Amino acid sequence: MSGAPDWTVVRGDFPLLTRTVHGKPLVYLDSANTGQKPECVIASVDDFFRRYNANVSRAVHTLGSEATEAYEAARGKLARFLNVRDDELVLCSGTTFAINLVAYSWALPRLQPGDVILLTRMEHHANIVPWQLIAQRTGAVIRVADLLPDGSLDLDALFAAMTLEVKLLGVTHVSNVLGTINPVATICREARKRGIITVVDGSQAVPHMAVDIPAIGCDFYALTGHKMCGPTGTGVLWAKREHLEAMPPFLGGGEMIKEVRFDGTVFNDPPHRFEAGTPNIAGHIGLGAAVDYLSDLGMDNIAAREAELLAHATEAMSQIDGLRIIGTAPDKAAVISFLVEGAHAHDLATLLDLEGVAVRSGHHCAHPLMQFFGVPATCRASFAFYNTHDEVEAFAAALVKVRRLLA
């Protein structure tokens, strides 16, 4: 681990965090929704448009080759960050696209009536709805692995649910609502023993901890760039090369072909086979800058910093009467879902906003999880390394004030 950074200096890298909201200093606690961007990411996108904006892989002129080089360099940075090969990384618009790509290119041609797609109750809709669509088209059925009351996966039940009919398991690495960190390496090992293909949703893991995909041992790993300091509309699907080779394209168009004839088209090799059309060039160059930035800080330093903020916030919130934290698994990322007795989550979030505190309220694209906890919605405070202990105190003080107003 590199030495811990000076977090006050790090905070200064984020220009947006100096703004005020309703006359109060902004306390941004919605990083699980989207993360804020450091100056270097903003500058890299700005630099692309000012100096070498051009389409990739199409032009031989200087700007075209500079843009292509920077775009492919971003792929290389992401590959090193995740400890995988460049040619196993499909650049795409985010986790939603990545999971749909697996669903339509891997699962749709393979699943048969009676096959089972196993999911956990804590999945984001992005790791539920594509599978429902594929189940409808193939006759496969969805099986759900349930949770323990603290919001951990019930591993015994999950392993018991891995019967012969299960062909694919979709599991989130970290829950966007509960913060639960799932033991994905163990889960994937058990799935592998039974020949089950694993799709891990890494959206909420990659921003918070070092992720070594080969050590997880999954078949597919999806992530989204905007939660890890990168621009929106960026992301990655990692897949084992053998899967990518065997998958037909999901979208057809420019860039994903070698030769097009009206009597037959020869597709490009992976990963470009899956990158039809003009990609988000600026965005992925920005994501490459985000990867450099996070790597310089050190993912282990980030994890340690966020663990401190989580412990501080959990302690401060537990002092507040009538406040219930939903999701208390022993291994958690810095995400806290909560409710205050007698108050609707949206009212809470609206009043907190008047205090300058940005939290998300709603179902967090996880309806089945809300059903499990018997609530229509929660408020969610999600922290990043750029938050401060003073902000945790300001958040707790705002909660006390808002609770009084709602009493």
In the complex, which residues of this chain contact ligand PMP (CB under 6 A)? 94-96, 124, 126, 172, 176, 201, 203-204, 224, 365
Assess whether the previous peptide bond of 279 is cis (omega < 30° from 0).
no
Rg of the chain (C-alpha set)? 22
Q: Find, among 236, 279, 235, the residue nearest to 58 by Cα.
A: 279
**What's the min distance (Å) between Cβ of 222 and ligand PMP?**
7
**What's the min distance (Å) between Cβ of 95 and ligand PMP?**
4
Q: Find, among 16, 29, 39, the residue nearest to 388 by Cα.
A: 29
Closest CB to ligand PMP among residues 68, 120: 120
For residues 10 and 297, the answer to whether their CB atoms sit within 8 Å is yes
Closest CB to ligand PMP among residues 179, 356: 179
Closest CB to ligand PMP among residues 127, 138: 127
Pairwise CA distance, residues 88 & 244, whole Å: 7
For the stretch 216-232, what's the b/e string if a residue is b when 16 or more beta carbons lie within 10 angstroms of its beta carbon?
Answer: bbbbbbbbbbbbbbbbb
**What's the min distance (Å) between Cβ of 351 and ligand PMP?**
24
Pairwise CA distance, residues 107 & 239, whole Å: 13
| φ, ψ (nearest 5 deg) of residue 84 | -130, 175
Options 40, 92, 365, 379, the catalytic residue: 365
**What's the min distance (Å) between Cβ of 322 and ligand PMP?**
28
365 is catalytic: yes
CB neighbours of 280 closer than 8 A, spacing ≥ 6?
A: 91, 93, 231, 233, 234
Closest CB to ligand PMP among residues 94, 288: 94
Closest CB to ligand PMP among residues 335, 351: 335
Detail the DSSP E strand segments found in 342-377: 357-358, 360-362
Closest CB to ligand PMP among residues 52, 221: 221
Pairwise CA distance, residues 63 & 294, whole Å: 28
Pairwise CA distance, residues 400 & 376, whole Å: 23
**What's the min distance (Å) between Cβ of 18 and ligand PMP?**
26
Active-site residue set:
365
